[in-house]
Structure 1
């Protein structure tokens, strides 16, 4: 009750729900991942029923733990921030929308139904939680005569029987009170429970009217129908109960709060935000009452840290597609709120709020504690990348919005909205939010047109990459001697962040220009600057991509960077505007692409060191490739690297990574650098003087103080001009996914680091679980088909070589058991088939009969049919047999052997099967006097058997046999 609100902490509310139903025979089920790895139809799990979908659809595997469930209770993590269900735009503006929320649920799978579900829900809410019955309203399905659906008066009567008064029971329509999984599949009427937060009134007229003070808290779905393709409904063989109660809404009611955000679910996050930002306390104001917007910002930050943390913990890393893009959008939206309303620096803001969430929810959801460090790293990486363009993006937004207002326009142009995303990383919904603050709208159709136009241009650009300008020896001499262009300063490539430079020249491939003004659009060009932070392709590391910009004036998209004789050429195309010599520009490489490249390059050094430690001193680098997806390393070695050796190399590499060594680098005189004990260099490579030395774990000055120290052999030290992480723990993990020979005495290793390594580990775990499920299936066609598909999938998995070999062993064991069972059953069915036919001939009344036509008591086993035919072909040539195997409900195979008694009179197998095929369909084949085939219409099995016998009898009569 309201007076006891303080006793109902969120923790106690959740546990009370679980305990109540566990005491009533329900199995407590842990929340599934919010990322539905095995359900491509969902972006995120957005409802409590999603993890049990296979049960409702009848597709659950017999060995799946879910298959044994009759009653279950859980709290399910849910996200609604993308796709069909998207509450992102409403978060912060009202008291009850969340992108991440918990759904409490109790479930019956073919067990109890309406009576128990309704009785328990009322008992729990009114007797256990102590909510005032007069504040509760329930709905039932009013029926739909057009669809042949009667009103759910059974539910209404059950509500009356537990004590709900007539004026608190309301009929509801198809939209509110009939639940469907999709256009087809399980569905049924539902019965909602709504709570009036004000009380002392009759609020029936406010139910389902989007009143924030009368909210739905619980929904009981009674799945009893199966929607057919023709929209008709069939009764399900087993009726189910699917319930869902909004945890945040329930806590709000029990703590007597008008707002979900005023509860202890969010208070710890608000307190932490206040501690981090120094802002005023949260006061739970909305709309115009939230004058400074601070309360709205508090709500956005608290909501978004929940979504971000759980999504990342469950494997949804931020990126530019699908669910990864949702995570990125949410983070950037939240970062902008934090900067605008709390005036904090972006770069590590969300990760400072994270500990409060882990402390609050880490016991119920242990994945938060386990993945806390990973979540922090990813949040910081994403924030840092967005911080680079946030200031400039906001300035550009101010320009275009001010111009729109000046022109008395009510909206931003689609091209401007798209440019804010493409250039500054502002997702469309963030620009929409900012536009609303200025009284402007955006036209989503215009944005879509601009997006499609950019994609088409991008396709054309990619085909023109080969045309990018290259400097030849004469042009290098022209730059150096005639044009007096100094070689650029490229040291900023080793420092994170943007850099300002000046345009020296625009290179067309044949000439140097002072301006790009007269160049045709989409012409491949090269920019030569006096200073750049872009990495030019070299040393096996791919070139950076990104943009070179004069904000709001011009943008040059950089798709490739090459170095020629010390001159760096940025190859790409103008998105809009133009440059001229002397212009100051901003160089912005793609940090989110560079970051995994850094991981992979430092990982390559660690791998090189580990290879020497495990395989010996004859290991020399013969080539490498470092890109954003992987690292590839070629080295000299006479024999294949064994699996135990690969495991040692991988383990040693990860031990190095986990020690969190710092990476040091310095330019050193080449002769002095060569003196360092154990230094690694590529044989035959020409190195500059001075050369850059990269050391992992020991400062370069310390190495040079005593270069012949034998201890340095235990350290990764290389000549390298590439980009690297600051500390090894940023690499996270290194897994070897391929080892192969590419030439005599040359081996190749491909490896993943960072998020790619973690994704590979998740893929391996998902496949391992799939094998467990397949292993538990009973022998039959389903298991055989699953094994066949799994074999193809396993071959294509890009996972750890060690893990893959373990999975191959596991798979081979399952496959052998199936093959052995197949052989055993094949042998048994062949015996049964032959015994059936021979038994027929052994009967006294059939001793003189020369033929057998009939259905065998086995499945559609073509080998058994063939064995019967071969027996009579080789051992009892006079008799004829026509046998059918299978059933009309699955498949049918059939075969005939025409014995000498008939063939000598002109009867052929082809004639006989042709008559049968006219009935049962399909094709037959074989060499006389036998023939075999498979039916196209198994349902006509009985007719086919009768036809086979009738045809033969008529033929025998015709031939006087």
Structure 2
């Protein structure tokens, strides 16, 4: 059976048993304690707890659930790639009963599906049941044992052999320290060639006997005092490893061959299409090898196969997570995704990838899994875009970071050698020599050769990468600590994790202290909440509650206010406070909890208890409102023109301008024009802008009401609506927003986009203006055009033609320069043809072209294509750096790969490089070693 047939047969089986087939829930969990949805039961927790009524009739459900286990309590990340079965993303097939059927049906149906329908050999199947040890909850699960015993006996098998007891650790499931829980019963499959282990490998952590299905019987409630009481309703919660079942069925050729079985989740049609695509992109082949425990002794093929498995696993994790709205970032689950992506990109270097490649695998994943999980098809372009941006950003520092790591690694290895017979200066010199000579070797080889080179030297310990170096790789080059540990492990190095964590703690403390300096004097303020009337009024009679000093400023706390306090991107209002003949200018309004702070200046200070008048700076407020309302229109237009996946990441709304941050690729000039025009069309419609105070629960799950993902909202929220009937929640733009706004879009006036640019990896910013600010800017543009026309002595109507002519002339110059470069390259190629020689049976041109850069080398190599068949390796040392280029004709790539040639010779000149089998580039800094590098290239061909 194919994997698709296996998945569908499971769902069809339980559909026949009157189960409702439900879609997988999102990987974004409802539980705040989870990083990701990590089990099939997550979406049903409210039903188990009695917080939600079961929506299914009868109370039965079945599904295939997307799961991620990376970070937190369940973390398989470090093991991915090193074996046949660990994943960060996997599918969990499950069937559920909510107070309906119980143990008898669950066990009988499991047997019917696995033995009856899928034809697993019954003699290879073992069941486990709960048997308590001293102090464990509940009693022996006799009911489950009896049901299994009946089934094994009917199959002619001995229940005493095929039913294995397990204690609380293996066979008792708990949701937490308290709450629903119960015994569980698992199915294990003996995969040994003879299949006669008689249950001795069950629960022994042996890959030759794999658990495939866990049947959990939720029948107790765990109480805070440690006791267990029966639940009023009994439930069934099962989970089957989809990838594991597929690996057994396909790896044994439908249970016909256990002698030559290749039981691996990666040897299935789940992963094969991804492997095929990686092979096409990299030119390398997957060999199904597994690495030794000591990764420093790994072979090239083993290293390649680890990379295949890691990349194939990680593209599934990243693609499904992003499709569910979880983006790579710097905190919590978002950082976990960024770590996983960077791990995949680093493994790409093992396969010769130096340009973005990872995002390209989204296509094959969508083709193979998009029918089962339609969100992949729907979000396909968005997923590719996010991965491409993240990959591109990390690529810029990865090579530098790897080079830095190599230096740290060689220094760490050298630090493990002591020279008791020399002074400190000589010892330092010797360590430097060891780094230069043996720094690229694994730890065991480095230590062996070092002790041979300097007799009398001793090893003082196992080399460990210092914590400050691991921290520098994290802080400067974006290397997550587990990525550093992974690279170190491949060299045989340890990592001072404690030292790293201490430095991380210091950085976090510095960040906390910096934050405290900003808010400590504000957070200590104790005052009642300010009543805000600024949505409907611009002035108010109020009373002074208190006057406080904050750093070198004075702030007045009022009983009520019409000044908006800075929040959600909108800046605070300014205004005027008066009492009798005295007045104070309000320069800013901010919040301390629910208290408004009005920062004032004036010769005197108001007295607490005084009655005062407060008026907002109406002209400034109006400019802010125009910019805030048009921000909502901009957000709407961005979704219309670009994508609804262009998610808001921040904003600034002031009187002089607005900025809007969002995740997206760069917008095209056409998209910017379309957004600007669409917003101005909506302004001309003069649609009503209204707002409603509603219960958050009423709008929480409405896709047409925009809310900032990750923000926390109270029980009541304010929805700002543009268009539709006022306060009916039927507008074309609706957002949760506490800011102030115009009453209609026509009040905004003109809208202009000033610019669109990147501000961070994957994050863009639009800067725009509206109203009089936009008018003034348009007038300024017109004046600048007039001045430019005068300088060019051209009428404004002819200005565009004159500029076009200048640009055309510039292009002609560039074209002539390129032609001259090509002629020079062709001349060099002609000279190079004369220098061709045969190395063994391979025609080769290996030459130093002198003081030229990499582009000139590439042009010369390109000029040889079509004229020459063989291997070409060129070097140059222009601009103070060494450049290397290698090309291999198609008929020779099976024997020599350009990428491997560059990888072998670039370190000689103190650099790195790589590429495809037919084309590769590299470089370095040591021009004096260029001749040595080219000489080594000749030896590679001999």
Instruction: Give 3-state SS (helix, strand or coil) of 2:404's partner.
Output: helix
User: Deviations along 1:819-865, whole A, 9 cap, x unmatched?
Assistant: xxxxxxxxxxxxxxxxxxxxxxxxxxxxxxxxxxxxxxxxxxxxxxx
- Structure 2 unaligned blocks of 5 or more: 253-261, 293-297, 417-461, 520-568, 572-618, 646-653, 681-686, 690-695, 706-710, 735-942
Aligned to 2:275: 270
Aligned to 1:157: 146
User: Deviations along 1:19-51, whole A, 9 cap, x unmatched?
Assistant: 001001111010000111x32121101111111
CA-CA distance at 1:456 after TM superposition: 2.5
- 1:125–1:800 Cα change, 3 Å: farther
CA-CA distance at 1:804 after TM superposition: 12
Q: Partners of 2:329 and 2:389 in 1: how far apart? A: 12
Instruction: Give 3-state SS (helix, strand or coil) of 1:183's partner.
Output: coil
Kept in 2, the 8 Å contact 1:657–1:732? The answer is no
Q: Partners of 2:306 and 2:41 in 1: how far apart? A: 31
Q: Partners of 2:330 and 2:110 in 1: how far apart? A: 43
Aligned to 1:389: 397
CA-CA distance at 1:160 after TM superposition: 1.3
Aligned to 1:236: 231
Give runs of aligned pairs for residues 529-544 of structure 1, distance below 5 A: none
Kept in 1, the 8 Å contact 2:468–2:499? The answer is yes
TM-score, with length taken from structure 1: 0.51
Give runs of aligned pairs for residues 367-766 of structure 1, distance below 5 A: 367-408=375-416, 409-459=462-512, 634=624, 652=637, 654-657=639-642, 725-727=666-668, 766=700
CA-CA distance at 1:633 after TM superposition: 8.3
- 1:115–1:170 Cα change, 3 Å: same
User: Deviations along 1:776-822, whole A, 9 cap, x unmatched?
Assistant: xxxxxxxxxxxxx9994442689999899665999x9xxxxxxxxxx
Larger radius of gyration: 1
**120, 124, 132: which one aligns with 1:135:** 124
1:56 partnered with 2:36: no
**351, 374, 377: which one aligns with 1:366:** 374
Q: Partners of 1:444 and 1:147 in 2: how far apart? A: 36
Q: Partners of 2:217 and 2:2 in 1: how far apart? A: 30
Q: Partners of 1:183 and 1:683 in 2: how far apart? A: 54
**341, 344, 353: which one aligns with 1:344:** 353
1:330 partnered with 2:340: yes
Kept in 1, the 8 Å contact 2:345–2:391? The answer is yes
Aligned to 2:434: none
Aligned to 1:10: 3
Instruction: Give 3-state SS (helix, strand or coil) of 1:86's partner.
Output: coil
Aligned to 2:87: 98
Aligned to 2:928: none
CA-CA distance at 1:422 after TM superposition: 1.0
Kept in 1, the 8 Å contact 2:186–2:215? The answer is yes
CA-CA distance at 1:135 after TM superposition: 1.4
Aligned to 1:300: 310
Kept in 1, the 8 Å contact 2:18–2:58? The answer is no
Aligned to 1:20: 13
CA-CA distance at 1:388 after TM superposition: 1.2
Kept in 2, the 8 Å contact 1:411–1:440? The answer is yes
Q: Partners of 1:733 and 1:317 in 2: how far apart? A: 27
**763, 768, 771: which one aligns with 2:702:** 768
Give runs of aligned pairs for residues 712-861 of structure 1, distance below 5 A: 725-727=666-668, 766-768=700-702, 792-795=714-717
- 1:727–1:111 Cα change, 3 Å: same
1:41 partnered with 2:36: no
CA-CA distance at 1:146 after TM superposition: 2.6
**207, 219, 222: which one aligns with 1:227:** 222
Q: Partners of 1:804 and 1:197 in 2: how far apart? A: 67
Q: Partners of 1:733 and 1:74 in 2: how far apart? A: 43
1:111 partnered with 2:100: yes
Q: Partners of 2:674 and 2:138 in 1: how far apart? A: 57
Instruction: Give 3-state SS (helix, strand or coil) of 2:233's partner.
Output: strand
Give runs of aligned pairs for residues 833-912 of structure 1, distance below 5 A: none
Instruction: Give 3-state SS (helix, strand or coil) of 2:266's partner.
Output: helix
Instruction: Give 3-state SS (helix, strand or coil) of 1:260's partner.
Output: coil
User: Deviations along 1:517-549, whole A, 9 cap, x unmatched?
Assistant: xxxxxxxxxxxxxxxxxxxxxxx999xxxxxxx
- 1:75–1:253 Cα change, 3 Å: same
Q: Partners of 1:326 and 1:796 in 2: how far apart? A: 33
Q: CA RMSD in A?
A: 4.4
1:260 partnered with 2:254: no
Kept in 1, the 8 Å contact 2:83–2:290? The answer is no
CA-CA distance at 1:279 after TM superposition: 1.2
CA-CA distance at 1:148 after TM superposition: 5.3
Aligned to 1:776: none
Aligned to 1:531: none
- Structure 1 unaligned blocks of 5 or more: 1-7, 467-539, 543-621, 625-631, 661-681, 686-717, 740-746, 750-761, 772-788, 813-961
- 1:790–1:429 Cα change, 3 Å: closer
Kept in 2, the 8 Å contact 1:261–1:284? The answer is no
Q: Partners of 1:131 and 1:724 in 2: how far apart? A: 50
TM-score, with length taken from structure 2: 0.52
Kept in 1, the 8 Å contact 2:178–2:221? The answer is yes
Aligned to 2:858: none
- 1:801–1:337 Cα change, 3 Å: farther
Aligned to 1:311: 321
Kept in 1, the 8 Å contact 2:286–2:308? The answer is no
- 1:791–1:395 Cα change, 3 Å: closer
CA-CA distance at 1:55 after TM superposition: 1.0
Instruction: Give 3-state SS (helix, strand or coil) of 2:234's partner.
Output: strand
- 1:345–1:377 Cα change, 3 Å: same
User: Deviations along 1:641-688, whole A, 9 cap, x unmatched?
Assistant: 7xxx9987665555454799xxxxxxxxxxxxxxxxxxxxx9999xxx
Q: Partners of 2:703 and 2:517 in 1: how far apart? A: 45
Q: Partners of 1:452 and 1:117 in 2: how far apart? A: 49
Kept in 2, the 8 Å contact 1:22–1:28? The answer is yes
- 1:149–1:803 Cα change, 3 Å: farther
Instruction: Give 3-state SS (helix, strand or coil) of 2:188's partner.
Output: strand
- 1:445–1:72 Cα change, 3 Å: same
Kept in 2, the 8 Å contact 1:139–1:170? The answer is yes
CA-CA distance at 1:158 after TM superposition: 0.8
